[in-house]
Structure 1
Amino acid sequence: MAVSSVPEPGTSHRHPGADPAAVGAWLATELGDDRWRQATLSPVGAGRSNLTYRVDSPAGAVVLRRPPVGEVAATAHDMGREQRVISALGPTPVPVPTVLASSTGGPPVGAPCFVMELVDGIVPLGDLPDGWATTEAERARVGQALVDVLVALHAVDPAAVGLADFGRPEGFMARQVRRWGKQWDAARADGETGTDEQTVRELTRLSDRLGGSVPATQRNTVVHGDYRIDNCVFDRDDPGRILAVLDWEMSTLGDPMADLGLMLVYWYQADEKPVWRAAQHLPSPTRLAGFPLRAEVAEAYGRQSGLDLEPLPWYVAFGGFKLAVVLAGILARVRAGSVPAEMAHGIENAVAPLVALGHHVLDHGVA
C-alpha cells in the first residue's frame, strides 16, 4: 500500500478490526523481530470492502489485510485467495506487493488475514498530488501504464504460475450476471437501498438484457475484478511506472474483457455526455488534460492484447451493473445500521445513474 494514501504513523491505537498489541506480538513471532511488539496501526482507505491497516514499528512498516468486521468471509473477502494470487503473480511482469506472513484465523485478528510489504509510492485518489504527473505527457504515460499492466496480467498463463484451479472460466460471464443479480436481491433484503421503484425495474431489466446477450469469451485469463487507477501504486519519480497493483479480493479466472469494461466505467474524461457525467460519483483524476480518452484506452488495450473490441459495450454495461449492485449493497448496510454511515459518503444517489449508463451503452456504444 502506498505511503501517500495513509495517515501518519501512530495516529490511532485501537480499531474494531485489529488490536495493535495482538498484531505486534504476532508479527514479532512471524517475522522474528521483537521490535514489532511496539506496533501502531493506522486504517487505510474508506473501509467499504476488505479492511486495510498500515502497521508501524521500530522494525519497519507493513500492510495488514483482513475481511470486514462482523461479516462471514465469502469469496469476495477470501484472504487466502487474495494472498494466493499475489504470491503467484510475484515472479511475473505484473507488479504486486510481497506477502510476508499470513493467518487462516485466530491470532492476530480473529479472522483470516495476511501481511504484505508496504510499497512506497503514489495512489491517485481523486486529485493528483502536488508536483506529480504535472504535464500532459506524464499523464498520458500514467494512462498507458494502466493499459500495459492490464495487458501483462491478461497475458499470464494461469497454469504456469500455479493458478490453473483458481476459478471456473467456462460460463464465467453468464455466472457473473446471475451472481450480481443475486447480490442485488440480497442488498434489497438487507435494508433500504435508497432506490425507487423505477430504478428497481430498470436494474432488473438491465440484468435481463445482459443475461440474454452474453458475448462469447475470446480468452480465459486471471482477472483482477476491480482494476482501476486508485488500486495501483505509481512510482513517485516516474508517473509512467506502476510499482504494485492492490486489492485482489475479487480476482479469479475468467473473461479479461470484464476488467477492461469496468475500468472504463471508472474512466472519466473532460467532455462527457450527461449520462456518463451523472454516473460518476467516485473520485478519479482521469478528466485532467493528458489522460487518454476511453476510446483511446480501449484501442490501446485491443491492439496490445489482440482481443476483438466489438463486444466491448456489453462489458462496459456489465461493469456499470456490477458497480451499481456493489454500491446498493453498501447503502443497504448503512441504512440497516450494520456499517458506519460515512461509508455512504458520495454514493447516496449513485445507483440509478449507473443503471441508466448500462442501458445507454448497450443501446449506443461506449462513446
Structure 2
Amino acid sequence: MSDLVPLDRLGPALVQATGDPAWSDLELELIAGGKSNLTFVVRSGAGELVLRRPPTGTLLPSAHDMTREARVQRALAGTDVPVARIVLADDGDLLGVRCYVMEKVEGHVIRGSLPAPFEGPAAREHLSFAFADTLATLHAVDPAAVGLGDYGRPDGFMARQVRRWTGQWQASRTHDVPEIDELGRRLAAAVPTQQRSTVVHGDFRLDNVVYDGEDPRTIRAVLDWELSTLGDPLADVGLLMLFWAGPQDPTLSLIPGVTHLPGFPDRDAMVARYAASSPVDLSDLAYYRAFAHFKFAVIAQGVSARSAAGAMAGQDFGDLDHEIRQLGRAGLELV
C-alpha cells in the first residue's frame, strides 16, 4: 500500500491538518469494491479517516478529479445535504496525484444485503423515501449561494454529456459494441430541452450514501462526488431509475442491490416521491433513463479496462462485456 499512499508523507500532513500528533503513526486498509477511484481507511490512535485517490495507470481526460470532490463537499457542508467533513485536500504534492482525506462517517452503506435494523417492510420504505428526498434536497440547493456558481456549465449540459461519454467510450473500448454506438447516436440526435439547472451528483445510488446506524429515515452522508457538476437534475433521476432495480430486472454485477426485495417501493413510487418536493416535468424521463444506461455502460467498460490493466490495487471485476451489451439493448428500447 505504501507505493499508492506514502505513509511518511501522509502522516505529517494529517498531523498538521488536525493538530493531533497521533496521526504520525498510521496504517491503511483498502476498501474493496471501489470501481473508479481507490478508497482507503486511515487508522491511528486518533481514530479513523478516509482517503480517496485516483487509480494507477493512465487516466482518461477530466476523470478522477479529487479536487472537485473535496470542493463540492466543502461547499455543501452548510446546507441540508449530508456530506462528510473534509480534513485535507491536495493537488498532487502529497501523493503525486490529487487526493483528499475526509472524516469517516459511521453508519450503514447498503450494497448486497440489509443491516438488521432495516429488515422490516416499514424500514425499507423509510430508507427508500429518505434516498429520494435527499436527491430532491440536493437539487434544491442554489449553487451560487454556496460558492458553486462556476462549478460547471449548465447550458447545453445533456448534449455535452452525450459527447463526453461517447468520447470516454472511444477511449476505453476494447472492441466494437454496436448497441452502445447506436445508443450514443440516438441520444445525440434527440436531446430534450433542459428545464432547470442544479448541482448534479452524477452517480446517485444506494451504496453511495451512509445511513444512520439505527434510523433508516436518516442519511448521514452522500459519498462519491467524482462526477458532480452543474447541469440537468433529470440526469440524476434517470440514474436513480437504472440503479433502482425491480424483481424482474437483470442483475448489474458492479452494483449489488437490494431494491428487488419485497417491501421496496418500485420506480414509479420513487419518482413520485422525488417529484412531490421537486417541481419537474417528467415527460422526457425515458430519454434520461436511456442516457443512464449509456453512461453506466461506458463506466463499466472503464472499470473492466482498469481492472485488466492492474490499475485497481489487485481488484478484479471480471468480464463485463455481456452486461455492457445488455445495457445498450435496454437503452435502445427506452429511446
TM-score by length of 2: 0.95
1:75 alignment partner, SS class: coil
Cα deviation, residue 227, structure 1: 0.3
Q: Which residue of 2 aligns with 1:186?
A: 171
1:55 alignment partner, SS class: strand
Q: Which residue of 2 aligns with 1:5?
A: none
Aligned partner of 2:196 among 208, 211, 219: 219
Cα deviation, residue 356, structure 1: 0.9
1:243 maps to a residue whose letter is: R
Q: Which residue of 2 aligns with 1:97?
A: 84
Report if the CA contact (8 A) 1:101-1:114 is conserved. Answer: yes
Shift in CA distance, 206/112, structure 1 to aligned 2, threshold 3 Å = same
Shift in CA distance, 286/40, structure 1 to aligned 2, threshold 3 Å = same
Report if the CA contact (8 A) 2:15-2:21 is conserved. Answer: yes
1:251-290 matches, cutoff 5 A:
251-270=228-247, 272=248, 276-277=249-250, 282-290=255-263
Report if the CA contact (8 A) 1:95-1:244 is conserved. Answer: yes
Q: Which residue of 1 aligns with 2:31?
A: 44
Cα deviation, residue 344, structure 1: 2.1
Aligned partner of 2:285 among 299, 312, 318: 312
Deviates further, 162-171 or 321-330: 321-330
Q: Which residue of 2 aligns with 1:209?
A: 186
Using the alignment, how far apart are the partners of 1:336 and 1:30 within structure 2? Answer: 34
The number of residues matched between the two structures is: 335
Cα RMSD, aligned residues only:
1.8
Q: Identity, % of aligned pairs? A: 44
1:238 maps to a residue whose letter is: D
Aligned partner of 1:301 among 261, 266, 274: 274
Instruction: List per-residue Cα deviations over 1:255-302 (Å, max 9, x = no partner).
Output: 0000010111111112x2xxx426665211111222110111112212
Cα deviation, residue 324, structure 1: 0.5
Cα deviation, residue 46, structure 1: 2.1
Instruction: List per-residue Cα deviations over 1:78-102 (Å, max 9, x = no partner).
Output: 1111111000000000000011112
Using the alignment, how far apart are the partners of 1:66 and 1:159 within structure 2? Answer: 28
Q: Which residue of 2 aligns with 1:352?
A: 325
Using the alignment, how far apart are the partners of 1:345 and 1:120 within structure 2? Answer: 30
Instruction: List per-residue Cα deviations over 1:146-176 (Å, max 9, x = no partner).
Output: 1100000000000000000000000000010
Aligned partner of 1:127 among 113, 116, 121: 113
2:150 maps to a residue whose letter is: D
Structure 2 gaps of 5+ residues are: none
Q: Which residue of 2 aligns with 1:228?
A: 205
Q: Which residue of 2 aligns with 1:77?
A: 64
Aligned partner of 1:115 among 79, 97, 101: 101
Using the alignment, how far apart are the partners of 1:278 and 1:100 within structure 2? Answer: 37
Report if the CA contact (8 A) 2:304-2:318 is conserved. Answer: no
Deviates further, 256-265 or 73-82: 73-82
Deviates further, 89-98 or 50-59: 50-59
Using the alignment, how far apart are the partners of 1:343 and 1:149 within structure 2? Answer: 32
Report if the CA contact (8 A) 1:147-1:300 is conserved. Answer: yes
1:351 maps to a residue whose letter is: I
Report if the CA contact (8 A) 1:21-1:39 is conserved. Answer: no
Aligned partner of 1:26 among 10, 13, 27: 13
2:29 maps to a residue whose letter is: S
Instruction: List per-residue Cα deviations over 1:203-257 (Å, max 9, x = no partner).
Output: 1111111111111111100000000000000001101110000000110000000
Cα deviation, residue 349, structure 1: 2.5
The question of 1:154 aligning with 2:139 is answered yes
